[in-house]
Chain A
Amino acid sequence: MRCCHCSSGGYIVFKECRCGFFIYNYFFPIILISYVYFNAAAVASEVHEDRVQLKLNPRLCTLSKDEPRCKALVRISWTSEAKQSLCLKVVNRPDVNHCWKQNSQGNFGIQLAFKNDLTVELRDSRTQSLVASKTISIVREGEYRHRRRHPWDLFQ
């Protein structure tokens, strides 16, 4: 492609100059896309720095028909790329409260008994805003019995 010098921008100039045509059709869009991409990446990077990974163990509690509630040692761990001050809370359990000051990770274990799904939250210690949340689900085993055999019936 042969390129010429263009001293000014604008539509008319672009019509008269192949270089202007190139700038109008390729250069500006590339610049625009690049700007949007790098700007978005920068924002994403900021978010990523604050992202907290919360892990619970166990994630599931299976109850047999004779067990009214789940009793388990719940191990909670979190990691963050940036140091943060976070507090651990359990929904509907105000007695459970543990905080970390300016840490990038934390571990906590507690013996709990619960009848319904248990939701563990990490909240910012200053603003109380929710940073991460995970739930331990309860699965109750269904009770089964033998179906009546009925060979006399037409459809059995």
Chain B
Amino acid sequence: MRSYITAISYTIILATCFTTQATSAAENCDPSHDRCIEIGQLNLELAVGLGAKTNPIEDSDPIPLIFVPQISYYGERFFMENLDLGYTLFESVNHSINLIATPDYDRVYFHRNSLQNIFMGNTLKARESTEESLIMDEQPSAHSSRDRNITYLAGLDWTYGLDHFSMQLSYLHEITGEHHGNEFRFATAVPLVQDLWVLSATIGATWKSAEAVDYYYGEKGIYSPSSAVNPFLKLGYETQLNNKWRLKIFGHYERLDNEIVNSPIVSKNEVLSLFIGGIYSF
């Protein structure tokens, strides 16, 4: 509880400092640049393709990536990217510092019809499921003795970007009162080829506190894990086909920490995501 109050206090102090000195979020943004987005416009994209994300939970099917909607909205400072909500405290051409609220994505492994899964892609699977399998999907894993509720994390997020190079660091605290855990997310994307098409490599890692890991992968009286670090590597290819469609191919490999792998409900030490398809902008 004390750490929670401390985190909130720091956040408010930082927010006050940055807001008073903040430059306008709209300044120095060239509309022709693909990183610039019109304020006040709701942007809807739909990824259509073939892909899947493996599920490390024992006896669980991969999560299909077939139809994946992407919704975003940017106000003067407020923004929404799928299930992420944010408020920009400071923004320059290359840097931005945001207050963000984001869901905990571990829940997607336990609940096929989780809200997070809509933006990960499970729509085809859900439609194809029989009534019986849908009922099963709503239930927690057969290997788990308890439910995992939707949890939201909130905290500070710093990003740096220069053309297709970008770096992100987020510190998050669980705010929905389920486990009070913390999370650090770090990622850096480096363009390998930057031409009419972009080939990029992303490396990163997620650190989860013991409370967060225990909430998802612990079993009371059986297994009580400590904190975990999951590193990942992503290779992505993207090219604009026309003004509506762009082609996207990616492979994402995440290595699970032993604290997660050693859980009795986990059977794999990695999560692999693959996708090839088009993204349509409405």
Identify the A interface with B (CB < 8 A).
65, 142-155
Identify the B interface with A (CB < 8 A).
25-26, 29-31, 35-41, 47, 53, 68, 70, 72, 74, 76, 79, 81, 84, 86, 88, 91, 93, 96, 98, 120, 157, 159-161, 166-168, 170, 185-189, 202, 204, 206, 234, 248, 250, 252, 273, 275, 279
B31 touches A152 (CB 8 A): no
Whole-angstrom distance from the CB of A143 to the nearest CB of chain B? 4
Given contacts A143-B40, A152-B168, 19 further A-B contacts (CB under 8 A): A142-B38, A144-B30, A144-B39, A145-B29, A145-B74, A146-B91, A146-B93, A147-B36, A148-B86, A148-B157, A149-B96, A149-B160, A149-B166, A149-B189, A150-B84, A151-B167, A151-B204, A153-B81, A154-B273
CA distance A152 to B158 in the complex (A): 12
Closest residue of A by beta carbon distance from B206: A152
Interface of A is mostly: loop
Complex contacts, B275 vs chain A, CB 8 Å: 154-155
- Partner of B166 from the list A143, A144, A145, A151 (CB cut-off 8 Å) is A151
B25 touches A151 (CB 8 A): no
B31 touches A144 (CB 8 A): yes
A151 touches B168 (CB 8 A): yes
Please, could you name 11 A-B residue pairs with CB atoms under 8 Å apart, sorted by A? A142-B31, A142-B41, A143-B38, A147-B36, A148-B159, A149-B159, A149-B167, A151-B167, A151-B188, A151-B189, A154-B250
